[in-house]
């Protein structure tokens, strides 16, 4: 059985230059080109395009495509896409249409060359257009600060569009050699496993027992033979647990509590947008590109603060994503928690006879406080082996 098709094309077209001679020639050429140190968001977009996750994009969007995507979730040519993929700068610094330029990495010491770009257009968004994109993509709650909007606006209003050739994967390959995988590599691994139905789970945190059981539930109900735990390795917000700690905790859980060859632990190089529903759709697009047939969308998916309703990232697939736009299917999940009555983890919506006190529920703050004191949360909340890894991390912060 063939793997699910990538989004927008029959074959995956990663923009990374795999040919060693061509890559070296471009690296050499790039040293003589005009260059800019791009924003972290622009660098992350390059990594995602290089890895094949943003198939079938060939580079950064122009103004018309970005506005069309923000407003209608499709480019001017009609390609379904949920979020603008931009190279925004504060000042074009003499760069003009027709130039070939080097894009330098802001996140690696010495700002090495990340990609070579053929600039097709240099355009500027008005304040009104920036506000429109912020409103449509991030849908921030009125009068409340939104980290995604702040990050978007901080990049600048000048838009450089055009095709790119990606020369490296920034810090992700070096810092996370066991976890960072391209969409190409994940497709190959799925084929090697012989998996037919594959569900993907998005995380930016360690996985508690409820997350683990949600993955088991999805696999059982969908009849999946494979699970890809796919963690964000890029920039997070203050207080989030660093990727190496999350990685160790998740690997320990998979090793002990999943059957052999049923789950892959992988990661991707992208910065969190905190764009709620739109980011949920973007997550689905690039999971299809990496070969997953199903994707778990839970409560408050990709949300931040009180900007979105608990299930907005699920209803967008019903109300705004056109039929047939994506081949990947969504597994909609409610909050999962341990039921004291039933002595197992359940989806809360599937236990209508329960009251709040019937569940083992702990806030993130409470869990962090416990771990910081060296206390493991109850076994109904977290696997003890996972808690041990997190305790040692939190206790190291105090030293």
- Residues composing the chain: 399
Catalytic residue (one of 23, 100, 111, 204)? 204
For 7, the token pair is 């989004």
Helix pair 312-319, 276-289: axis angle to 10 deg: 70
| 3-class DSSP state of 317 | helix
Rounded distance between C-alpha atoms, residue 90 and residue 137, angstroms: 21
Degrees, nearest 5: CA angle 63-281-75: 25
Question: What distances in angstroms separate CA 363 from CA 235, 360, 381, one per listed residue?
Answer: 23, 10, 11
Are 7 and 85 a contacting pair, CB within 8 Å?
no
- Could you please report the per-residue DSSP string of 257-279? HS-TTSEEEEEE-------HHHH
Respond yes or no: is residue 204 known to be catalytic.
Answer: yes
Active-site residue, 62 included:
no
Cis, bond preceding 287 (omega within 30 deg of 0) = no
* E strand spans, 9-104: 34-37, 59-60, 88-89, 100-104
Matching residue, tokens 């770009």: 117
CA distance 389 to 302: 25
Marked catalytic residue, from 205, 221, 278, 299: 205
Please work out, in degrees rounded to the nearest 5, the angle formed at the alpha carbon of residue 199 by the alpha carbons of 181 and 289.
50
The span from the CA of 194 to the CA of 359, in Å, is 38
Residues involved in catalysis: 204-205
């Amino acid at each position: 059985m063939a793997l699910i098709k990538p989004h927008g094309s029959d074959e995956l077209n990663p923009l990374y230059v795999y040919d060693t001679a061509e890559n070296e020639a471009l690296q050499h050429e790039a040293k003589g080109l005009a260059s800019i140190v791009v924003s972290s968001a622009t660098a992350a977009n390059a990594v995602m395009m290089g890895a094949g996750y943003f198939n079938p994009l060939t580079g950064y969007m122009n103004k018309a495509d970005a506005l069309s995507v923000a407003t209608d979730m499709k480019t001017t040519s009609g390609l379904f896409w949920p979020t603008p993929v931009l190279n925004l700068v504060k000042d074009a610094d003499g760069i003009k249409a027709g130039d070939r330029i080097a894009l330098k990495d802001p996140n690696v010491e010495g700002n090495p060359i990340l990609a070579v770009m053929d600039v097709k257009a240099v355009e500027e968004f008005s304040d009104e257009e920036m506000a429109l994109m912020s409103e449509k993509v991030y849908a921030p709650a009125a009068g409340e600060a939104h980290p995604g909007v702040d990050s978007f606006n901080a990049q600048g209003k000048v838009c450089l569009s055009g095709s790119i050739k990606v020369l490296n994967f920034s810090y992700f390959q070096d810092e996370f050699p066991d976890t960072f995988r391209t969409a190409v590599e994940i497709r190959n691994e799925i084929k090697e496993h012989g998996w037919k139905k594959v569900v993907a789970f998005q995380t930016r945190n360690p996985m508690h027992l409820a997350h683990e059981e949600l993955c088991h539930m999805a696999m059982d109900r969908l009849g999946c033979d494979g699970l890809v735990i796919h963690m964000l390795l890029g920039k997070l917000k203050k207080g989030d647990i660093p990727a190496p700690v999350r990685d160790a905790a998740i690997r320990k859980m998979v090793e002990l509590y999943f059957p052999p060859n049923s789950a892959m632990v992988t990661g991707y190089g992208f910065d969190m947008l905190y764009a709620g529903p739109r980011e949920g759709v973007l997550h689905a697009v690039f999971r299809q590109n990496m070969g997953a047939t199903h994707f778990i969308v839970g409560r408050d998916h990709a949300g931040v603060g009180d900007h979105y309703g608990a299930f907005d990232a699920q209803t967008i697939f019903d109300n705004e994503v056109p039929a047939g736009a994506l081949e990947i299917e969504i597994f909609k999940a409610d909050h999962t928690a341990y039921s004291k009555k039933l002595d197992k983890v359940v989806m809360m919506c599937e236990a209508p006879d329960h009251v709040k006190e019937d569940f083992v529920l702990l806030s993130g703050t409470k869990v962090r406080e416990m771990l910081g004191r060296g206390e493991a949360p109850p076994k109904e909340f977290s696997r003890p082996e996972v808690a041990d890894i997190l305790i040692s991390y939190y206790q190291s912060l105090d030293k």
